[in-house]
Every structure is written in C-alpha cells, then in structure tokens.
C-alpha cells in the first residue's frame, strides 16, 4: 500500500520489514481521483497527510486575478507535507493532473511511528528536507534562470524524481502535463513554453509526445539547464544508517 514511498525512502537508507509495515498502518483511507478533482483546497482544515501512490497531482495558489501559480508537482512516492498537520488550514490546493490514487495518513500515527523507529524517523525527515530543497531550487529558477534553462531544469528534475521510484529508464519517463500546466509552474505563458520546447526538440535534446518525455542524452540537457541532481539528495546519501541495528 505504501510501496512507492518505501522505494523513495530507500534512496536514503534501507528500511526493515517492520518499518515498512508500520508505514502501512498509518494509512486510514485511500481515494481515487479523476483529473481535475481536488484532494484538498486552500483553507481546508488539515486532517490527514497525502501520499501519492499512483498518478500525478500539483499544488497551486490561486491569485485574485484568476491566475494560478503551481508550487509543486506531486509524483508517486511523495508524502505531502509531513509537518503540515501542525497548521490550522491547508495553504494551497492539491488537484489531480491524471487519474490519481492517494492514501490519507494519520498525522498522529505517523508521529507515534517516527518516535518509536529512529531509522524511519530520519528517513521521513530526509524526505521532508528534500521537498524543501526542491522548493528552494524552484525559487532559483523563477528568479535567475532564463526560459530555456528553466524548462530544461524542470524536465531534468522530473526525470530524476521518477527514476528514484522506478518510473524512468532508458531515457524516458511519463510526462502527463500540458504546456499550460508547465507555464503555470514556470511563471511563463504557454506560447513561451511552446517555443522553448520547439528549441529543445530542434537541438535533439528532448521529445515530449503521447504524455511521455524522452531524453536521448540526459547529460547534454543537464548542461543546458545548469542542472546538478545534488539538491535531490538521492543515491543512498544516508547509507551510513545501514550500520544501525534494525528489526527484520
């Protein structure tokens, strides 16, 4: 039930069978949403954490002029806002971009499990810090990268994040977003996104077709984007924790 999250956390450290079972015990409900349906709205009371098991969602803030700014893409394995339960209300709207399976987890139960399982607690803290690191990188993109770098950087990030949970291989991964969605995430118009995609295609760097992204030479795209995956903190960065005793 929490397979995608477990696979993601094991980029940081190896979890015991008991750790994995404990995570499953925190799930109190599972929801299947159609594209466009909201998992929560800005201002809603925070009663549960959301774990994306399958599909894509995004978090966005609605502006007074009717526009919206996407502030996060939520992919399989994402546990959304482990500290959000201390807030009185959600500070963004979370909406399904595709058919979405999302588990609702009890914040109180997660706290109990984390208190009893130091390895799992550190893995969850790692996951939350990765989320904060991604948000900081988005701020850098919006403030300092030009249009080509901004789009190439986001595509690299989404590829690496999906590879971490086994959804990207051979230079290809799902990319079920429209140019309008990309524009809302990158602070640009869909016309600008279209032109930038055409430039990337003309250079043979990416192909975006049938809801899939193909990157023939990832290293080349990373050079164009000025991308380093270090901020994603993948690759068993916490492997030293494997020396700690854990239950079978």
Segments making up each domain of the chain, as ranges: 3-117, 136-232
Query: Residue 235: pLDDT band by 50, 70, 90 thresholds?
Result: confident
H/E stretch holding 110 reads helix 107-116
Q: Which CATH architecture has domain 3-117?
A: Sandwich (2.60)
Separate counts of helices (H) and strands (E) for the chain: 8, 11
CATH of 136-232, one of 1.20.140.10, 1.10.10.10, 3.40.50.720, 1.10.540.10: 1.10.10.10
- Whether 183 shows a pLDDT value over 90: the answer reads yes
pLDDT in tens, 53-82: 999 999 999 998 888 999 999 999 999 977
Kindly report the pTM of this predicted structure: 0.93
H/E stretch holding 72 reads strand 68-74
Sign for the pseudo-dihedral over CA of 5, 82, 244, 21: negative
The mean per-residue pLDDT over the stretch 106-122 comes to 95
- Whether 239 shows a pLDDT value over 60: the answer reads no
Instruction: In whole angstroms, give the CA distance from residue 40 to residue 209.
Output: 30
pLDDT in tens, 19-64: 999 999 999 999 999 999 999 999 999 989 999 999 999 999 999 8
Q: Are both 3-117 and 136-232 of the same fold? A: no
């Amino acid at each position: 039930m929490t397979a995608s999250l477990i696979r993601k956390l094991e980029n940081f450290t190896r979890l015991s069978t008991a750790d994995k079972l404990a995570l499953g015990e925190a799930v109190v409900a599972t929801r299947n949403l159609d594209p466009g349906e909201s998992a929560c709205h800005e201002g809603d009371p925070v009663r549960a954490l959301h774990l994306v098991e399958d599909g894509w969602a995004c978090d966005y803030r609605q502006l007074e002029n009717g526009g919206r700014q996407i502030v996060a893409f939520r992919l399989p394995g994402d546990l959304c806002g482990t500290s959000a339960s201390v807030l009185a209300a959600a500070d963004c709207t979370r909406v399904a971009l595709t058919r979405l399976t999302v588990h609702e987890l009890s914040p109180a139960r997660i706290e109990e499990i984390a208190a009893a399982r130091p390895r799992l607690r550190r893995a969850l803290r790692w996951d939350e810090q990765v989320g904060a690191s991604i948000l900081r990188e988005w701020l850098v993109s919006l403030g300092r990268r030009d249009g080509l770098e901004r789009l190439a950087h986001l595509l690299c990030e989404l590829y690496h994040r999906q590879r971490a949970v086994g959804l990207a291989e051979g230079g290809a991964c799902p990319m079920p977003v429209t140019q309008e969605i990309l524009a809302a995430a990158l602070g640009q118009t869909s016309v600008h996104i279209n032109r930038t995609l055409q430039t990337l295609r003309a250079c043979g760097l990416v192909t975006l077709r049938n809801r899939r992204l193909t990157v023939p030479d990832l290293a080349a795209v990373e050079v164009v984007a000025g991308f380093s995956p270090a901020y994603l903190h993948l690759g068993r960065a916490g492997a030293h924790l494997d020396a700690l005793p854990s239950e079978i």
